[in-house]
Amino acid sequence: MNLPMKSLAHDYRPDYRFLNAGIMFWTLALIFWYSGKLFISSILFFFIICSFSTHFLKKRILMMFNKSKAAKDKLEIVSEKESADTSSSLKKIENRNLTNESGTDSTVIASDVVFDGNINSNKQIYIYGCVNGNVLAKDGLVKIMRNGVVEGNITSRELIVDGVIKGHCQSDSVDIYENGRLDGTLVYVSLSIKKGGVLTGKAEVLTPSPAKQKIVDLKSEKVIAVPEQPAVRGK
């Protein structure tokens, strides 16, 4: 396998054989021309033109080959560098459960993070990266940002989807934005899907439990007191 590559590389090395041949034909043509042998000198001039033309043509092909090879090598270097940067910038967190107990208002999964585990918070959860696990925010908001991915179950009071969810979701209010996609099952009270949003799977409407209402009767009977008439004494 190495021999053909070696011979191919050898073919594209600088080659001065045709240039040297042209110079030799030029010298012989001058000698024959001074000797009066014009016919032979004219033939040699033809070989001179062919030799120089072949030399410059091969030189041009060699330059084109070197440029294309340099561009290809540069492209490979850039691709390897980009892939290395992407792999090094991607942070993976495995086998962890995240619980927000610090009192902060929100939990954020950054775009360069792959989180393997469950997330539990009663406040806002913003997911820009990738989560492989369940997300629980019964009294809070869960928002899957654009390019965010969740593979697991989500339970929240409010759910906004602008990324991708694969799993079971249960929320009182669900909004699927233009770039949102939900694959799986959905249990909701109120649902809004914008143009471009996709819901694939089974959806079930959750009937909210009726609140206990205290009925207070404010009506009361009004009693009008009639004054007694004074007794009339006879004369």
What tens digit of pLDDT does each residue of 37-85 get?
Answer: 777 777 877 777 877 777 777 777 777 766 666 666 666 665 555 555 5
Percent of the chain with pLDDT over 70: 64
Nearest to 155 by CA among 128, 184, 181: 184
Rounded distance, CA 40 to CA 19, Å? 20
Which residues neighbour 143 within 8 Å (Cβ) at sequence distance 6 or greater? 124, 125, 126, 127, 159, 160, 162
pTM of the model: 0.51
Name the helix (H) or strand (E) containing 121.
Answer: none
DSSP 150-214: EES-EEEEEEEESSEEEEEEEEEEEEE-TT-EEEEEEEEEEEEE-TT-EEEEEEEEPPPPPPP--
What pLDDT score was predicted for residue 79?
58
Q: Distance (Å, rounded) from C-alpha 150 to C-alpha 183?
A: 10
Select from 98, 95, 91, 92 the least CA-distant residue to 125: 98
Q: Which residue has the higher pLDDT, 114 or 23?
A: 114
Give every CB contact of residue 205 below 8 A, 6+ residues apart in sequence.
187, 188, 189
Q: How far apart are CA 140 and CA 158, in angstroms?
A: 6
DSSP type of residue 235: -
Question: How many CB atoms are located within 10 Å of the residue 107 CB?
Answer: 21
pLDDT band per the 50, 70, 90 thresholds, residue 234: very low
Per-residue model confidence as pLDDT tens digits over 133-183? 999 998 899 999 999 999 999 999 999 999 999 999 999 999 999 999 999
Boundaries of every domain in the chain: 7-89, 93-205
Burial class of residue 14, CB neighbours in 10 A (0-12, 13-18, 19+) = exposed
SS3 at position 74:
helix
In the predicted structure, residue 190 carries a pLDDT above the cut 50: yes
